[in-house]
Chains A and B, each alone.
Chain A
Amino acid sequence: MEKPKHKADRKVGKVFLIFAGICVVILPFVVLAALSYEPQEIEAAVVETQSRDFDQNGEAVFANYDRISADYLQGTSTERTLAEYYSRRQYAGSPPYIPHKVQETDGTKLACLTCHARGGWTQELKRNTPITPHPEQTYCRQCHAKTVTEKLFVASDWMSLPPPRLGRSHLPGSPPPIPHDLQMRGNCIACHVGPGAVTTIRVEHPSRGNCRQCHVPDAFTVPFKRKSLAG
């Protein structure tokens, strides 16, 4: 009874040794690859000033799209996750806080838009900059606060709705509807395209510019109740 067990153990040990050996051989290559990996520097997009919603500003949205380089459109990165995206908001759609250092007195300009209007790689933060969907608003600190502590004054009983669920296609493989409000967020490519976008919501087909051709707003969902005209 003892022998076979011993044999089996030996076999496991052998397999492990071979595996470990392979790992040791591969490791330097992995490390080397990781070290030599440099996120691609992609030319920044330029999002032109536009206000209000797509419906009033479709032209600006299209023009903007034309201006963006193919490189930027196809740029990807895995830096930004949806979890991080929502962790900076108090409810889906609230203005996020500023997660990086900012200088209070930087001369005469309120300078956020230098980076956030065009996106692109920032050497200082070693990240791709997310693009604001509303660069026409120039006084950013009006809505975006820089937090300096995690503590609360008193605990809060705050709760909100869960963020919109992903993949809400009505049919298998059909284009999902737009699950959020479009006020100040009507410029799809600012958030859904390029290396600054959140990985999970980046579109796989950035070469198609007319987003609303297939994706329709589906945020207003108070159930429709038909009233008979006959009363």
Chain B
Amino acid sequence: MNITRRSFIKSLALNSAVAAASTLFPGISFGAWKSKDIPAGMIQWKKTPCRFCGTGCGLLVGVSSERAVAVKGDPNCTVNKGLCCVKGYHSIQILYGEDRIKKALVRKNGKLVEVPLKEALDLVAEKMKETIKSHGKDAVAIYGSGQWSIPDGYAASKLFKGCIGTNNVEANARLCMASAVTGFLTSFGLDEPMGCYDDIDHADVFVTWGNNMAEMHPVLFSRMLANRTSKKHVKIIDFATRTTRSSQGSDKSILFRPQTDLAVANAICYEIIRNKWVNWDFVKKHVSFHKGKTNIGYGTQDHFKFKDKAETVDFKQYKEFLKDYTPENVEKISGVSAQDIKYMASLYGDPDKKVTSFWCMGMNQHTRGTWINNLVYNIHLLVGKISSPGNSPFSLTGQPSACGTVREVGTLTHKLPHGVVMQEEARKMAAEIWQVPVENIDPKPTYHTVEMFRALDRGDIRFMWVQVTNPMVTMPNLKRYRNGALKDGRFMVVSEIYPTPTSDVADVVLPSALWIEREGFFGNSERRTQHNEQIVPMPGETVSNTWQIIEVARKMGFEKQFPWSRKTYIEDIWNEYIRFHDNPKHRMAPYKELKARSGIQWPFVNGMETKWRYNPKYDPAAKGDDFDFYGKPDRKAWIWLRPYEPAAESPDSEYPFWLNTGRVLEHWHTGSMTRRVPILHRAVPSSYVEVNPDDAARLGITNGSQVKITSRRGSIVMTANINGRGNPPMGMVFVPFFDEKYLINEVTLDAFCPISKQPDYKKCAVKLERA
């Protein structure tokens, strides 16, 4: 220890100064926040899943005097093991924006005015009855969300499908997960991933397909990095259309031209077969080959209809189909070098490497979304790398309960909680559990989301109730649908927490309780159901979305179907709902267990969670000794022959740029919550357009200058961002969609995957000029 005389005196002076300050100001608070006048440390920690993405992190929310005051990661939750992202750590601040909607609003003489909640709910029920009487039951619709708590979606489905008898139930997950669902159904016959997040700890190679996980699923990205740190040989390959933070964190970044992932996936399979890397034991026993229709269109016109037809083929035909997809051919279409294609194939093909593929919106928001999902499954199936620890084709979800509420409860036009409306068995089961006559449930699906808003514009739908989503920012080709919602004779009900462009077009705004202000359940990407209790009181006259639906249902005369008390309705709904899934392929955990634990994975059979489906070692529903793909009638996983087909709209001489849209780490979707969180808004206060530096130089655009982006649908002027956190390749621009001031969806195209009906937000043609 060499304490010099000088430093000794210095520290002495310092210490006495500190001592003086602390006697003068005992309990002084230095924070950047208003302090609650309660003793420091009086804090209780309550568990909840995070409100934001589909990762489903467990949070512990610190509560003091009925206010949420702090957050830490839940160390008991296996998803995140105590770590959150910046949104999660500050998530509770979404409760406290100054302009929180705490009272019901009704439009009177063109203006929204505050009314008692009862009056607003009466009006909603009245309008609904009136619309059904004058325009028929299919003139009323509900449009919900993957952020709906499970009981919200369940109550909505029961009221609309069971009681009113219309299949006009859709959710924004159609814009987000529909291609993942149809991908699962066509390849495996059952929805949702076979694997789980534990795959991240086991895998040797990760390939992220058009998936900027560092920003969209940061906690899982960190888990990949942790695996790579502990096992030095682990590789992360970022296969994407632009360079992002994920590319920076990966071992290799491979860029492809938009839409050509279809060709590259086929080329990888071509290489696997050519190099004899096919796992024949697996393929012979567990795989069958199928072909569907081609040239299937893009759905840009009203009333577009498409139905795929599967034709069984054999391996020879599959090999023949692949012969066009040599790495050299595909290099020309995709811009990915043949060498890189071969490299990716070698990673998938190496029998000693466990491979996990991740994807989310890049593959789902794709006019061939179902196909590209199928094609990535093809790769995993050819090499048998599936349904076992570390071998996992993993479709990530964007929203906290896209799986839990939309996919499992089935809040889509063709779905019921178990099965689809077209199946008599499924209708019978629903009618029995819901206590409604079976004839009530319409066997014909009505409108998927895009078509539902088109129907609203046309006047086929007259009444629409929107909950937990902001379609007046998120619908592609937005102008048409906003004008539609504003037409005479349309009645819009919006359940909201803050004013948004969607509440701007509402005739009634219902004040909703947020996530931890009410009890509920979410279901995350890995089949994990997560319960949260009510942690803080509901402000003002807010109530849960579930309770809004229950009240309206009762006012419409469905007291018998909605008998629950305000105290126990969430538990009662859970107990009724899980009757739909009471089989070993999908059994849900009982209420009591869910309340006690930080999430439980289904199928939950004999007190055990199922980590890997279709594998008898882990899945009680699987028979035999290695794998059992019991979702399909032939008990096999299906490889599909899906060709490359171009995007609905590609750049040309008039509109020479691709427009790609998406999110940023700090903001959740349309920003109606995260922009009210101080640090998140301060980090990314407004949207911008990312321009490639060479394009910018050519067009005379500099960082921070104004740029006009124009498509065939509309135009927008916004600030250029060059060499920012993301960098698009030449010929592409990228715009985050969170900012309601810059409605980029007035520029995007409402083309969708004909099978999943999910729009493609990642590809349309625009021109760029200095503004």
Q: Interface of A with B (CB < 8 Å)?
A: 49, 52, 70, 74, 76, 78, 81-83, 85-95, 97, 104-110, 136-139, 141-167, 179, 181, 183-184, 199-200, 204, 207, 218-219, 221-222
Contacts and interface: CB of A to CB of B under 8 A. Distances in A.
Contacts of A156: 93, 96-98, 676-678
A184 B82 contact: yes
B700 interface: no
Interface stretch (B29-37, B272-280, B579-587): B29-37
Contacts of A147: 679, 682-683
A128 to B, nearest CB: 15
B667 to A, nearest CB: 11
A113 B688 CA distance: 29
Contact of A162 (B31, B677, B684): B31
B225 to A, nearest CB: 5
* Chain B facing A: main interface SS: mixed
B40 A161 contact: yes
Given A76-B11, A139-B225, 16 more contacts: A70-B2, A90-B90, A91-B70, A104-B725, A105-B248, A142-B665, A148-B684, A152-B682, A153-B676, A159-B34, A160-B31, A161-B40, A162-B27, A162-B29, A162-B36, A167-B22
A51 to B, nearest CB: 8
A85 B31 CA distance: 8
Contacts of B676: 153-154, 156
Closest 10 CB pairs of A and B: A145-B683, A162-B29, A147-B682, A142-B218, A159-B34, A83-B30, A153-B675, A155-B98, A160-B69, A162-B35
A212 B212 CA distance: 41
B86 A145 contact: yes
B41 A179 contact: yes
Interface in B217-261: 218-219, 221-222, 225-226, 229, 245, 248-249
Contacts of B70: 91-94, 160-161
A85 B93 CA distance: 20
Interface string B23-62: 0001111111111101011111000000000000000001
A191 to B, nearest CB: 15
Nearest to A111: B248
A19 B650 CA distance: 82
B110 to A, nearest CB: 24
A81 B19 CA distance: 14
A146 B540 CA distance: 34
Contacts of A150: 682
Given A95-B86, A221-B42, A158 B249 contact: no
B681 interface: yes
B83 interface: yes
B679 A90 contact: yes
Contacts of B671: 153
Contacts of B683: 97, 145-148
B685 A105 contact: no
B625 interface: no
27 contacts: A70-B1, A76-B10, A85-B30, A89-B31, A91-B69, A91-B70, A105-B727, A107-B248, A108-B248, A110-B245, A139-B249, A142-B221, A145-B683, A147-B682, A148-B682, A149-B685, A150-B682, A151-B681, A151-B682, A152-B681, A153-B671, A159-B34, A159-B35, A159-B67, A160-B35, A161-B41, A222-B44
Contacts of B40: 92, 161-165, 179
B32 A88 contact: yes
A86 B85 CA distance: 19
Given A110-B248, A145-B680, A183-B82, A164 B41 contact: yes
B229 A154 contact: no
A90 B225 contact: no
Given A74-B7, A92-B31, A199-B18, A157 B222 contact: no
B390 to A, nearest CB: 21
Contacts of B36: 159-162
B723 interface: yes
B42 A142 contact: no
Contact of A142 (B3, B18, B222): B222
Given A87-B30, A143-B89, A149 B682 contact: yes
Contact of A165 (B26, B32, B42, B680): B26
A157 B96 contact: yes
Interface of B: 1-3, 7, 10-11, 14-15, 18-19, 21-22, 26-36, 38, 40-44, 62, 64, 67, 69-73, 75, 82-86, 89-90, 93, 96-100, 214, 218-219, 221-222, 225-226, 229, 245, 248-249, 665-666, 671, 675-685, 723-725, 727
Contact of A157 (B10, B98, B675): B98
Contacts of A219: 41
Contacts of A76: 7, 10-11, 14
Given A90-B678, A161-B43, A207 B1 contact: yes
Given A52-B82, A76-B7, A136-B226, A141 B245 contact: yes
Nearest to A75: B7
A145 B221 contact: no
Given A139-B225, A147-B679, A157-B96, A183 B75 contact: yes
B275 to A, nearest CB: 29
B86 A144 contact: yes
A88 B682 CA distance: 12
B1 to A, nearest CB: 6
A225 to B, nearest CB: 13
A146 to B, nearest CB: 6
B11 A204 contact: yes
A138 B214 CA distance: 11
Given A139-B225, A181-B72, A184-B82, A145 B29 contact: no
A183 B72 contact: yes
Most chain A CB neighbours (cut-off 10 Å) among B29, B32, B70, B248: B32
B30 A204 contact: no
Most chain A CB neighbours (cut-off 10 Å) among B15, B21, B677, B678: B678
Nearest to A107: B248
Contacts of A136: 226, 229
A54 to B, nearest CB: 14
Nearest to A139: B222
B193 to A, nearest CB: 23
A143 B724 contact: no
A104 B684 CA distance: 13
Given A104-B723, A151-B682, A221-B42, A143 B245 contact: no
A210 B20 CA distance: 28
B34 A158 contact: yes
Contacts of B72: 93, 181, 183
Contacts of B666: 145
Contacts of B26: 165
B33 A109 contact: no
A105 B690 CA distance: 13
Given A74-B7, A107-B248, A161-B41, A90 B82 contact: no
A154 B97 contact: yes
Contacts of A108: 248
B22 A166 contact: yes
A204 B85 CA distance: 34
Most chain A CB neighbours (cut-off 10 Å) among B41, B44, B67: B41
A146 B85 CA distance: 14
Given A90-B32, A162-B40, A157 B218 contact: no
Contacts of B680: 145
A3 B685 CA distance: 70
